[in-house]
Amino acid sequence: MDIIIVGCGKVGQNLAVQLNNDGNNITVIDTAASKVNEVIGRHDIMGVVGNGATHLIQQEAGIKKADLLIAVTGSDELNLLCCLIAKKEGNCQTIARVRNPQYSSEARFLKDELGLAMIINPESASAAEIARILRFPAAIKIDTFAKGRVELIKFRLPEGSPIVDMSVKEVIAKLKCDVLICTIEREGEAYIANGDFVFREKDVISVVASPRKANDFFNKIKYKMRSVRDVMIVGGGEMTHYLSDILLRSDIAVKVIEKEPKLCEEMCTDFPDVTVINGDPVDKDILLEEGLETAGGFVALTGMDEENILLSLFAKSRSKGKLITKITRIEFDEVVNQLDLDTIVYPKQLTSESIVRYVRAMKNTIGSNVETMYSVIKDKVEASEFILKENSPILGTPLSQLKFKDNVLVAAILRDRKVIIPRGHDEFMAGDAVVIVSEIMALSDITDVLKKG
């Protein structure tokens, strides 16, 4: 596919690299020559310096033959204008990043009237992910497939867990739980689970199951399950607005600490049921006075990554509540992940994943099409959901007879609203939603996981 990306910030650069690695032809546009040169100097990508909201620059970038234009500049209005011009100048799909909460209620109108394929709001998407985690504090991360009927849940194995020193096959045999253990992360290494793998304390494990079966599994390993009842949020920005709205609708009490009086006034006006404290969240005395030690959840959403990290580390030392940390910069994620911060949310990474998922679905391959895609372990393991078509060559053959490539797991099958954790005798049928966990990046068709010949 021919794809134009307007905006060479961190999201634009990340998208350009991922989509280029997927085999697409990428052209980037930015007013800053240094950013364009940085991208094209490192990768096999075309670049144009200029204003992507002008038809001349879009023509120079090849809008007439483009399949998709993605606008991810720092301005919502500029992104929408880029997409409007692209629809007029070319015959392509368009995606706009729109972050202002004032536009959130207008998203459907803007999408329909401007003919956008997608409006992506990173703050709203991040708030939804945080809310899912707070409802299920055992998890570090929860990804959903098959419209929420299948979940991929990542969690850290605590000290003293009953499954420490047990192998994967021993856990499945002893607990008799209908879940599939997919991946294990240990000391910076990633492993696709096999039956002989033995668990250790502090392993980060991902499992796939229906929500009910997942609850059964976590109960049997004596893991904390109950949703939090109250949350302390530091920072009163856009993401806090989205998150407060979701949590209040779930009957979760919310307390926000914000040092800017104007933001406090906006929170009080928009959410009269939220307790708003005008104070500096970096003042640990304020945190303790406002109940940090007894709060069910603590969410660090200030505008500075360093503050969020320090606040979360302090909260971890004084609280047993669920801790969630927002990190804006994604280039140091390997370092941040070693800090044992519990759950980390990267809004820019969520934005990239959503757009890459849509692009892969656009390819609409012969035997199946990509419905959903998530990064399980960054740059190492992905989970993809495929919808099988009637002409798929893998229908009607037992899984045990299909020759899968190494490090590939068929994690789940959804058929007629029923979740199947597959075994060797199971077969694929037309219309199945199939979840594949694999070290093979950029899958576009389910047959990509099969050995050739």
Token digits of residue 431:
């219309």
pLDDT for position 334: 72
CA neighbours closer than 13 Å in the CB half-sphere of residue 16 = 30
Query: Does residue 298 or residue 370 have the better pLDDT?
Result: 298
> How far is the C-alpha of 37 from the C-alpha of 54, rounded, in Å?
20
Q: Does residue 453 carry a pLDDT above 70?
A: no
pLDDT band at 325 (very low <50, low <70, confident <90, very high): very high
Tens of pLDDT along 173-220? 888 888 899 999 988 788 888 889 999 988 999 999 988 888 888 888
Judge whether residue 48 has pLDDT over 90: yes
Q: Is pLDDT of 258 > 90?
A: yes
Burial 57-66 (b: 16+ CB within 10 A, else e): bbeebbbeeb
Buried b (16+ CB within 10 A) or exposed e, 137-158: bbbbbbbbbbeeebbbbbbbbe
Asked whether 440 and 448 are in contact (CB, 8 A), the reply is yes
Residue 238 has pLDDT above 70, yes or no: yes
Per-residue pLDDT band for 88 (boundaries 50, 70, 90) equals confident
340 pLDDT above the threshold of 80:
no
Q: Which helix (H) or strand (E) holds 368?
A: strand 368-377
What integer pLDDT is reported at residue 366 of this predicted model?
A: 52
**Domains by residue range for the chain, with CATH:** 2-120 (3.40.50.720), 136-220 (3.30.70.1450), 230-320 (3.40.50.720), 352-449 (3.30.70.1450)
Question: What is the pLDDT confidence band of residue 441, given thresholds at 50, 70 and 90?
Answer: confident
Query: What proportion of the chain, given as a percentage, has pLDDT over 70?
Result: 98
Q: Return the higher-pLDDT residue of 96 and 342.
A: 96
| 156 vs 188, higher pLDDT | 156
The pLDDT, as a whole number, for residue 413 is 93
Q: How far apart are CA 36 and CA 45, in angstroms?
A: 10
Helices (H) and strands (E) in the chain, counts: 15, 22
Distances (CA, A) of 294 to 24, 226, 249, 316, 360: 50, 15, 22, 12, 44
Q: What is the pLDDT of residue 229?
A: 93
Span 353-393, pLDDT tens digits: 888 888 877 765 555 577 778 888 877 888 888 888 888 88
